[in-house]
Amino acid sequence: MSVAQEHARLRPVSFRSVRITDEFWAPRIRTARERTLPHCLRQCEQTGRLSNFDKAAGKLPGRFEGYFFNDSDVYKVIEGAAYVLWHGPDPQLEARLDELITRVAAAQQPNGYLNTYFTLTPSEQPWTNTRVRHELYCAGHLLEAGIAYYEVTGKRALLDVALRFVDHIAEVFGPGRSPHVPGHQEIELALVRLYRLTGEERYLRLAEFFVEQRGRAEGRDLYGEYCQDHLPVREQTRMVGHAVRAMYYYSAVTDLAGYNNDPGYLAALERLWHDTVDRKMYITGGIGSTRSNEGFTQPYDLPNEAAYCETCAAIGLCFWSHRLNLLHGQARYADVLERALYNGMLAGVALDGEKFFYVNPLASRGDHHRQPWYRCACCPSNVIRFIPAVGNYIYAQTDTAVYVNLYVGSTVELNLAGRKVALTQETRYPWDGNVRITLNPPESLELDLCLRIPGWCPGARVKVDGESITPLPVADGYVRLARTWRPGAVIELELPMPIRRMQADPRVEADRGRVALQRGPLVYCLEAVDNGGTVFNLALPREAELTAEFRPDLLGGVMTIRGRALAAVAPPNVGWERALYQPAADFRPVEFVAIPYYAWDNRAPGEMVVWLPESLTLVPLPPVSWVRPSASHCGEHDTLTALHDRSEPRSSGDQRIPRFTWWPRRGTREWVQYDFDRPRTVAGVAVYWFDDSQQRGLCRAPAAWKLLYRTAEGWQPVADPSGFGAELDAYNRVSFAPVLTDGLRIEVELQDRFSAGILEWQVELAD
């Protein structure tokens, strides 16, 4: 059964009713099936995520491996595999999943509890640290996987495991029981999904309990803004904290609002939506600007090179936007869904389906790349459960209306008040905006066909059976075509896709005087590989002419944008280390090529930018060219280029600019060094330490450090140093007896329990 949301204007149309046939999404679903899913299963096996279940079941000896929430990755991969199976039977894959589910089930305890970390870590007791340990988060993903596998295959084994666990959770949490809530939301929306499947009110009541308890301190300590646990949801006005947690939480609140029509929920959701999309969302649909909390900061704080924009957060924004669209029946929510889908989410996976971005910046010096896997693998496992289910987001309906939210070549069969209606979309979207829709009711049928007019689109045109519709009957962002339709009726929608030069609100400091390029739903970027090896030296004057050209031979087939930019040509003495003034940079016109943002970093490594200055005066200084940095370790989401990129910090806690850290190493001895292009005489350095204590992070200035220079005999301490400072919010300058060397090394002793990092490391040349 399926319990409809009584107070939602629209009902979802499951991907199980949709067959995707187009040249854009169908190949991506095929890649997910043939490459991404086998890759994720292999990684789960190789990293111990699967053997954790065997150990917890007593079938293998050994300790727990990985992060305490690693079970969730297995569940998400199973969920993705279920969606893959819907696109075509695969007995071998299904048998493998059945065997995997058996391994999961064997780890369940007699009382229904299932979490391999706690089973294999006897020093910790279940439910004693719900703020951190993610038990309820993992349970939510188990539940979603069980539902998905049941809906696709009809097999209950994993669903029954999940139901036993949910029954156990209901004995622990709820009114008169434990008042605690999960630190990472997920169980809430999973419980609503279970209620929708079963119709059992107790699941909905438990979801409401977890939502209502958040922000209430009775019987427990609040977790704070990081977990959206600072205020009850009805009192929240700002989008704060961890971006993924927020998206999952407000998705659940939106689901509940569809059932209870709570005016407090509705008002809060509207406030939070506007704070997000009007003040805290990137043009790519990325959210969460800082890595300090993997989430939100102040309004308009949207740095580009240091942007966090976790792939999971873009997926979460798709979840929330979709639910709000169903709740209110307004196209503005589907506009944001589309933006996040085609840009922020899709960039998270390489074209080969086997490499992933965790972080999605809007500029790169060439050292940010997708990886085959991550120790914290939430993004790869989220990608594999999202792409095969993209059909969930194309259509919506009521008893008397069909809504087309996304333009994707596909067929769908709908049940409208007991009448079967087939609909076919044909389109090359997102490369062009021509969409042909054929309606096939079994006989003439009265219904409303509602076509979303994207917010980016000027001058949409519609024809029905060759007849132009003017003026267009637009309401809530949809063209509503209300009539009696005959079988085989053809609707032609034309969505012009001019190249648009986008500008940001002037309060977004990082984008002042800059423009981004967008065509249709796609945001574009420039990569060095297409543009002479560098893109940070380019400016795009307002009068530059821009043209679109489809390249079937490039990146699987993409529409490119071409034009003429101005390239700064540095004077011979490009360095500023010993020159306060020098001749201005010259400039020359150059041809440039822009590609869709989602497709960057699929070829040769190199620079990338989304926002281009309109004037050469805003072209940034290039990194110091005669040093090459290396280190004992560099944080997974950090960059060595930060050391010499000449981005001036405002403070030691500056999150706007790239940084280098040794995270997660703590209390250890580490090093970072510069190799010079040739021997140089140096007499000093200046180091700007990174400290994220204000963001509740774990990086501090080191307990001690020293400076070495390279000689033929090896590394030697500099002579007569002026002192090795650890002052924050300032450069710590060290002068010493000049030396001729081809390299410098900083050796640090990290504080106990803390890591460290550097925002900028300057080298001072001797006269």
Angle 142-148-150 (CA atoms, 0-180°, nearest 5)? 100
Contacts of 91 (CB under 8 A, 6+ apart): none
- Confidence check: pLDDT of 369 > 90: yes
pLDDT in tens, 404-456: 999 999 999 999 988 899 999 999 999 999 999 999 998 899 999 999 999 99
378 catalytically annotated: yes
If phi > 0 it is left, if psi is from -120 to 50 it is alpha, else beta; for residue 276 that is alpha
| Residue 3: predicted pLDDT | 81
pLDDT in tens, 209-257: 999 999 999 999 999 999 999 999 999 999 999 999 999 999 999 999 9
Give how far the C-alpha of residue 371 lies from the chain's centroid of Cα atoms, to the nearest Å: 15
Is 655 or 486 the better-scoring residue by pLDDT?
486
Q: Which entry of 138, 378, 379, 525 is annotated as an active-site residue?
A: 378
pLDDT for residue 587: 83
Peptide bond into 91 cis (omega under 30): no
Give pLDDT tens digits for 299-319.
999 999 999 999 999 999 999
Place of tokens 């500008």: 503
pLDDT score recorded for residue 577: 60
Question: Which pLDDT score is estimated for 570?
Answer: 65
Q: What is the rounded (10 degree) CA torsion for 539, 545, 549, 551?
A: -20
Angle between helices 157-172 and 135-153 (to 10 degrees): 150
CATH architecture of residue range(s) 397-494: Sandwich (2.60)
- Is the Cβ–Cβ distance between 658 and 306 less than 8 Å? yes
- The reported pLDDT for the residue numbered 517 is 98
Average per-residue pLDDT for the chain: 95
651 contacts 729 by C-beta, under 8 angstroms: yes
Give the pLDDT score at 655: 85
Domain map (residue ranges) of the chain: 47-213, 397-494, 510-618, 627-765
457 belongs to the catalytic site = no
Nearest-angstrom CA–CA distance, 354 and 375: 15
Q: For 620-668, how does the pLDDT look when each residue is reduced to its tens digit (9 = 90+)?
A: 877 888 999 999 999 988 899 999 988 899 999 998 889 999 999 999 9
Tens digits of per-residue pLDDT, 461-475? 999 999 999 999 999
Q: Residues 26-32: what's their mean pLDDT?
A: 98
Greater model confidence, 647 or 53: 53
Say if residues 298 and 368 touch (Cβ distance below 8 Å).
Answer: no
| Among 135, 144, 208, 294, the one annotated catalytic | 294
Residue 208: enclosing H or E segment and its boundaries? helix 201-213
Residues in the chain: 767
Residue pair 610/589 in contact (Cβ under 8 Å)? The answer is no
Lowest mean pLDDT among 171-175, 207-211, 617-621, 667-671: 617-621
Token pair recorded at residue 357: 């971005």
Q: Nearest Cα to 364, choosing from 649, 600, 38, 35?
A: 600
Q: Which CATH architecture has domain 627-765?
A: Sandwich (2.60)
Kindly report the backbone phi and psi dihedral angles of residue 650, in degrees, each rounded to the nearest multiple of 5, phi listed first: -90, -30
Q: What number is the average pLDDT over the span 63-70?
A: 96
> Is the CA virtual torsion 672, 677, 680, 682 positive or negative?
negative
Q: What pLDDT digit, counting tens, does each position of 543-580 carry?
A: 999 999 999 999 999 999 999 999 987 655 455 566 67
Residues 6+ apart with CB under 8 A from 365: 305, 536, 607, 623, 639, 641, 645, 658
State which H helix or E strand residue 164 sits in: helix 157-172
The contacts of residue 180 (CB under 8 Å, 6+ apart) are 127, 130, 131, 173, 213, 220
pLDDT above 70 coverage of the chain, percent = 98
Cis (ω within 30 of 0) for the bond into 613? Answer: no
Could you report the per-residue pLDDT of 669-699, keeping only the tens digit for each? 999 999 999 999 999 999 999 999 987 789 9
Find the mean pLDDT for residues 278-303. 96
